[in-house]
Chain A
């Protein structure tokens, strides 16, 4: 029963994605940005759909289940990111439209009048997005495997899911994402509210009683403790807020908006929409009682659903889950392919020309999807850890972007390169050696244990950016770039 429902939802999603191309001529601007004709409703759907991905569905509930209070960071950063978007997004959107920019790398290349910077930014974007895409597919595999009682294995599910994704992305581009995101959000919010109310009722007799009882049986659960103490919380929220709009796929809907006013309206509406996340946290806490001692805490929501609900409800939960993986997955796929084609391949003379780039972008979807699927099948890390790593990389773009707007004359292109290089190099060093910044600098006060490495890299980034900019004034002082 669960299997049939999940298969049905999957087929419907792919069909809806294919339908969305009906009557549209598909060139790169249409495929990647929907001709920039997305009205308030579509942009809202794309932005809102961004929060409720498989990361929140499995990752947030799993984090609450395994760690408790640190999961509150997921609730906190969304609201602040939308507030920041009120000021940050309209000027970016306007600039992108004025100059016909399609990718985030185009934006940097244009703003700093330097093509190589575009390549570097594109590369950082692709490096950060591949694990994010893999995470969606990994989640999809887990969902199908658990919800169908292992009738379909995780690896097979990843392969089928990836194939469906490729088909509708190649055919319909960003329109497919916006359309399926409507169905996805309705289903996932219904499932989240239902599980978030039902599971605590089932296990504790209500949400209030659940917190009262867990506070007694797990006294450490609802407060922050070293190493994930208040410093960790503050710095992690900050990295996530600043990095939120630095994802290359965020640039896609910033540039796709017809009217910049939608970003100011969304700063009011989306923090409230974010509150649905509470129910997903409730699910994680209830699962502590229902399915204690799971080895993989990312399974908390699914295991609790399977343990307490009939097969057809589990099928709906699983269906919502795969949509939560497919919809953001499709957007990530489009953006990664466009970045590689437009800012990488386009510089090779044989690929110059609009038609060829357009073809290349759609063709690149296939190898990228395969790479992500392989990543999901062969390498596996916790969902939240994977996303946080991606965030600490993309947040490195923040200083150059903001200074490039408000103080363009203070920053030079070599300065931006130096800042990005320092930030990315430090992060890569820390990641590869499995260390944290506090372990490298033993003189830092002990209170700073848990400081997000992204913040440390960001500080180095800004220092290098300012120093090199100051040293390379003269001809790099871009008097020739008009202010937007």
Chain B
């Protein structure tokens, strides 16, 4: 489960840092924006979505967790 969360959390970094090498172009325009800008906007939204998934999958954020039980692995 931890691995799944870390992988989900890494996706935005891949999408933006590695993705930029493949999407440095103007066309096609998407939602009126040049493609490179659209790509970054899309990943900004996706980051929020992926982090929501991570949040939901993270046992530390369960509502029934006792207060103070939020100790991570550190």
| Chain A interfacial positions (CB closer than 8 Å to B) | 69, 72, 75-76, 78-80, 82-83, 86-87, 90-91, 94, 206-208, 211-212, 215, 219, 222-224, 229-230, 233-234, 237-238, 260-261, 264-265, 267-269, 271-272, 274-275, 278, 281, 405-406, 483-484
Contact = CB atoms under 8 A, between A and B. Distances in A.
Contacts of A405: 74
A72 B40 CA distance: 8
A271 B45 contact: yes
Q: For chain B, which range describes its interface: under 10, 10 to 19, 20 to 34, or 35 or more residues?
A: 35 or more
Interface in B33-74: 33-34, 36-37, 40-41, 43-45, 47-48, 50-52, 54-55, 58, 60-61, 70-72, 74
A83 B12 contact: yes
A78 B12 CA distance: 11
Contacts of B32: 206-208, 211
A203 to B, nearest CB: 15
A87 B29 contact: no
A400 to B, nearest CB: 16
B16 A237 contact: yes
Contacts of A80: 12-13, 16-17, 47
A76 B16 contact: yes
Contact of B9 (A72, A87, A224, A483): A87
A406 B73 CA distance: 10
Given A223-B25, A234-B17, A265-B55, A90 B72 contact: yes
A259 B34 CA distance: 41
B21 A230 contact: yes
Nearest to A212: B29
Contacts of B9: 83, 86-87
Q: Which of B13, B25, B40 lies at the interface centre, i.e. has the most chain A CB atoms within 10 A of its CB?
A: B40
A91 B60 CA distance: 13
B44 A79 contact: yes
Given A215-B29, A229-B24, A272-B44, 17 more contacts: A75-B41, A76-B43, A91-B72, A211-B33, A215-B34, A219-B26, A222-B26, A224-B36, A230-B20, A233-B20, A234-B18, A261-B60, A264-B55, A272-B45, A275-B45, A281-B37, A484-B74
